[in-house]
Amino acid sequence: MALTKHADQEKRLVARAPADIHRRIQEAAELQGATVSQFLLEAALARADEVTERVTRIEASREAFDRMMTALDQPARSLPRLQRAADRYKETVDAADSQGATEPGA
């Protein structure tokens, strides 16, 4: 049972590389006192963190941030066309649900 649980928690990563690249990575790993696997995982995780940070963070000037916060603090304005569209959608969905409930085999 313990082996199955362990296997579910870890996944294998495989990479093929030309001999010269493998040698450079192996030398760098040895210089850090790590295995090639440890070295690659550490480097890949650091890069994954960089990419995630860059893609998920929104950067804005202080002025832009202040304008956004001011806009968010304002009361919502009425959007009649949007409200009518939402009402029509709700009516359509409710009608479809009502028809589906009365059909045989539904």
Is-above-0.75 flag for pTM? no
Query: Per-residue pLDDT tens for 65-76?
Result: 999 999 999 998
CA contacts within 13 A on the Cβ side of 85: 4
Domain ranges of the chain: 13-74
Helices (H), the chain: 2-9, 19-32, 36-56, 62-73, 80-102
pLDDT digits (tens, 9 = 90+) for 30-65: 999 999 999 999 999 999 999 999 999 988 999 999
Half-sphere exposure of 1 (CA within 13 A, CB side): 0
Tell me which residue of 35, 1, 43, 36 sits closest to 16, measured CA to CA: 36
